[in-house]
Amino acid sequence: MKQKSVDTVEFAKAIADETRQKIMAICCCELLSVNDIVEKTNVAQPTVSHHLKILKTAGLVRSERRGKQVLYTLNQERMAEGCCQVAENFAPEHPVERMG
């Protein structure tokens, strides 16, 4: 049962921005609209949409439309996969494993 492989460069690039990590933290355990995120981050709406697109393309957020809004949430599963793959590649002698 081989895991679907993760492109660790794409993964790292996707999370390598302060604004993006702010967004990720905010919608980590919640389903938030773009406007919610705009308000909580004090970042312009096009900027938020841009970052959400990058995260989406990397598979790190899920989105669903509800009426006029589009709700986003962090894909923790993918985050964990990315982290584990990085650790597997670059810390093979300091094992890190997913639990549960």
Partner DNA sequence: TTGACATATTGAAGAACATCGATATAATAT
Partner DNA sequence: ATATTATATCGATGTTCTTCAATATGTCAA
Spatial CA neighbour of 73 closest among 46, 100, 99, 55: 55
Assess 97 for contact with DNA (CB under 7 A). no
Spatial CA neighbour of 70 closest among 57, 53, 92: 53
**Least Å distance between CB 6 and its own copies?**
12
Contacts to DNA from residues 33-72, by CB under 7 A:
33-35, 38, 43-47, 49-54, 63, 65, 67-71
Total residues belonging to the chain: 100
| Token pair listed for 32 | 């938030």
Q: CA triplet 40, 47, 21: central angle to 5 degrees?
A: 60
How many residues make contact with DNA (CB under 7 A)?
28
**Least Å distance between CB 67 and its own copies?**
27
Contacts to its own copies from residues 29-68, by CB under 8 A:
29
Residue 18 or 68 having the CB closest to its own copies: 18
**Least Å distance between CB 87 and its own copies?**
4
Spatial CA neighbour of 17 closest among 64, 58, 71: 58
